[in-house]
Each structure stands twice: as structure tokens, then as C-alpha cells.
Amino acid sequence: MLDKIGIAKRIAKELQDGFYVNLGIGIPTLVANYVPEGMNVEFQSENGVLGMGPFPFEGEEDADLINAGKQTITTLPGASFFDSATSFGMIRGKHVDLTILGAMEISENGDIANWKIPQKMVKGMGGAMDLVASAENIIVAMMHVNKKGESKILKKCTLPLTGVNCVKKVVTELAVMEITPRGIKLLERAPGVTVEQIVKATEAELIIEGNIPEMVIN
């Protein structure tokens, strides 16, 4: 079974040289730490920066330089700043190659819910609805089951949706799955996890073809 860092490391293997990538809050943010050596990717933050770098050193933080999670950041050589309309122009215009975000639920046909629990938690969708409606390539980083052990990979989402028919790939502590027109296909198992464990933790129907390999994570 993977921890959050393991999930981030596995997703980092999906990065490709020359990709512009938007990272959501939480596990997706960690992916930036595991970019393979020698690969050039640029991180876009929807509040208006391309070429985001690591956190600043103590005493060097700048109130005018934050990421979409409101954390202080730095920029790398080649970075640029822009306004919010231009930022979402990049996203809707499909100039961003990969979006990695978290989810509360996903469904067999690629629907995603991650912004609202009625009567309980209403924080807003931020940029998630724009991202999922436009991105060609969306990877979801999430936990397979909730704290009560109930599956978050469902036949149909129960929470208010963020977007429909949009998720392409899901990486959880248990598995890597692909959303296909036929449903959710199991691609890889987490180290030490069996196919039976994954099936048991998944409410949605899984397509299982042939031998399911164990993930390789450095």
C-alpha cells in the first residue's frame, strides 16, 4: 500500500519532457518534488504564474508571490506572471498539458466530485471546474476509501459534481486505474496489494484483463 508520497511518486512517472502541468492542492502539490532527473516540466499555478519553483528560504518569502494554495513560493528562470483571465485562458485553451488534482469521489464514466459536501463543507470549487472541463489529460490523486472504509471509486458519484466524463487516470494508495469508454480498467497494483483487495475496496465495476503488474516506484 502506498502513502501520500508514494502516490505522488507514482504520478510523477506520468510526467513527460516539455509538459506544462497544473497541480492541485494536497497530494498533487507533492508531485513537484519527484520530477525525474533531466526532465523539463513547467508548473502553472492558476493564480497567475508559470515556472513555479520551490518554497523560499526563511526570511526570503514575498507576500506578492504565492501559489494557488496561498503558500509562499519562488520562481525559476523562464518564469512569467499573468492575470487570472489569462491564466484560465491557458487552461481552457488547452495549453496546459496535464492537470493533477484531488477528489472526494470519482465514477465509472469519469465524473469527479471534489468541491462540496451539502450542509457540511462548502468551500467552493476554486479553479477545479474550469480545469476538469478543459484539460485533455486529467490524473486524479486520491485515497481509495474514506475513513469509514467505504469506496470513493463509485458506479455513480453521490456528491455534487465538479465535472462530467473528464477523468482519464486515477492513482490511489492501492492501484493505478484508467477510465476507458468501457469503464474503469485496473492497470497496476500498489506494492503488496492483491487484485482481490482492490476489487473489495472498489464499488465500481473494474475491468481486469490478464496479469495486473505491481507498480514500480523508485
Q: Which residues bind other proteins (CB under 8 A)?
A: 45-49, 54-58, 60-73, 81-85, 87-88, 91-92, 111, 119, 122-130, 133-134, 160-165
Q: Of 164 and 217, which has the nearer Cβ to other proteins?
A: 164
105 among known catalytic residues: no
Q: Which three cell numbers stand for residue 78?
A: 523562464
Q: Of 128 and 153, which has the nearer Cβ to other proteins?
A: 128
Of residues 53, 47, 82, the one with CA closest to residue 67: 47
Least separation in angstroms between residue 26's CB and other proteins is 12
Which is the catalytic residue, given 14, 37, 42, 46? 46
Least separation in angstroms between residue 193's CB and other proteins is 32
Q: Of 56 and 183, which has the nearer Cβ to other proteins?
A: 56
Least separation in angstroms between residue 209's CB and other proteins is 29
Q: State the DSSP code for 51.
A: E
Which three-class secondary structure state does DSSP give residue 11? helix
Least separation in angstroms between residue 121's CB and other proteins is 9
Neighbouring residues of 60: CB distance < 8 A, sequence distance ≥ 6: 74
Q: Of 97 and 111, which has the nearer Cβ to other proteins?
A: 111
In terms of residues, how long is the chain? 218
Question: Looking up cell 490478464, which residue turns up?
Answer: 210
Task: State the Cα–Cα distance between residues 152 and 23, nearest whole angstrom.
Answer: 21
Q: State the DSSP code for 37.
A: T
> Strand 138-141 relative to strand 98-102: parallel, antiparallel, unpaired?
parallel
Which amino acids are annotated catalytic?
46
